[in-house]
Chain A
């Protein structure tokens, strides 16, 4: 039964099961340490239009890969194709060593969790109900969460510092709060791969940093493989271990921030004059776009 009322007293479910199951992935399993996500030669077409052409990349457990690129180059399409919402015409997608293209939505949802942009959530559901939805791939056919499911949902909320929001309705949340709830829902799926689609869009500066440091610690502290689509090149440079640049449906470069975020690669991709400098504090690349290079020369 749904226990909406006082769903979590610290200690209530202590030792409810052994060993302690958490949402964190087991990095010692299979391919996880090097290739939690391994995409080989992925191509996607909408009708005759080629949206993604021959994309190959991998994300290791415990690492964060940022996917950058101008609008309309297929970044969101990439996430949709990996999560199976749209079919891939060619290529192989493996998660933790398993070919996911043949898996059912339920089996996929155990391997990867998608964190969409916060825009469309049914406003009348509570935060607690929403996070419990993340347990879907682990529930019985009636969809009744067990004590264990509720405990995992509680920990997921705790992990994103949103336990105090549990009883609120989703419609009452700010953009930043809603984004954290979506992250908690993804954690509740107990899947080793997290796919985030521009989680900082529409958020103010404080929440942008808040969400990204959370994403980065989910990779570096909890061991998730995190693939994050980002608009902001400087956030990508600051937080990601590796950066992949997508333009016109093709992978232009993939490597460390220093290797990918260079004016040589970015200027043709974004078609705008820009300068890349080392950041005065953290030393990673820092991008500044200017109207015309001559203007400030």
Chain B
């Protein structure tokens, strides 16, 4: 395995992290940034960095990791380049789950916060099984039925979510911008609440690179090569849904990262999932950090939800992939 993709991915991610820490309503130059990071900065800089910038950056990076990793896993599971937690409706299902949990009043205690990703996970899991059952024809999941089923289930979940939000009072209405991919600013607490789900989901995904490679040969060959196919698929669906739920719970519904990142990585580093998965995790973090920085600057001083940026960049990309897949019949 070549180390170059990993090294360069790390370097680019590091750059994106610095960018995200430096840029905002107050610009922090590198020297001040480093001083504040080591605890030697001015009081104001310290508190901007530790209370606002750093938690946000970490949250965005973790969310990007979850979206990149689960996107790659869904693409491998469905053997379809257009599978993405957003497009196949899983993110919306997770969003619905999260909103139901938030509408219960205990939301802002720590344990209430921990329940949000759990509810999101259940929503995601339910959605992915419904979409999978609707879209599957025989043993394959064709793009058309996958996207159709995803869009249908997704709009159902989104409508239900909006209904819940509109009939509730103030608390939940604030979640509106969250739902469009504006992260909830809860500092380190939300990171602590998402980490267990994220860690579990991503670890399982990263350990299954060879399994996903085998699944690319189809269920029958995978089994004849020694894979317990139905068990492997169930485990991977659960893991990818855990990661998606962790992302959606605190960063809202962010589309296209899970589609674009694994796809670009595949073009760059090849189809081997043992490389593709970790690189997609790193790339997802980078892509979402850059999008988030853009979301902070394009209408500064006003911030826009990062989901708008990823959709603006991702939707044309989606069309390009669709065209490419149509022309070549392969991916």
Contact = CB atoms under 8 A, between A and B. Distances in A.
Contacts of A108: 224, 226
B24 interface: no
A142 B207 contact: yes
A13 interface: no
B32 to A, nearest CB: 41
A122 B209 contact: no
A270 B211 CA distance: 42
Contacts of B207: 141-142
Contacts of B272: 2, 125, 129
| Interface SS majority for chain A | loop
Contact of B224 (A104, A114, A141): A114
A112 to B, nearest CB: 8
A120 B217 CA distance: 7
Interface residues of A, number: 37
A144 B272 CA distance: 12
B168 interface: no
Interface string B198-214: 00000000010111011
A83 B223 CA distance: 9
A134 interface: yes
A109 B225 contact: yes
B220 interface: yes
Contact of A143 (B209, B218, B271, B331): B209
The winner among B1, B207, B214 for most chain A CB atoms within 10 A is: B1
B229 interface: yes
Nearest to B213: A133
Nearest to B226: A109
A16 interface: no
Given A2-B1, A116-B221, A125-B216, A143 B226 contact: no
A121 B217 CA distance: 6
Contacts of B266: 124
Interface of A: 1-5, 80, 83-85, 104-106, 108-110, 113-114, 116, 120-125, 129, 133-134, 136-137, 139, 141-144, 171, 185, 189
Interface of B: 1-2, 207, 209-211, 213-214, 216-218, 220-221, 223-229, 266, 270-272, 274-275, 330-331
Give the top 9 A-B pairs by smallest Cβ distance, nearest first: A143-B210, A109-B226, A137-B226, A124-B271, A122-B216, A106-B226, A114-B224, A136-B226, A136-B225
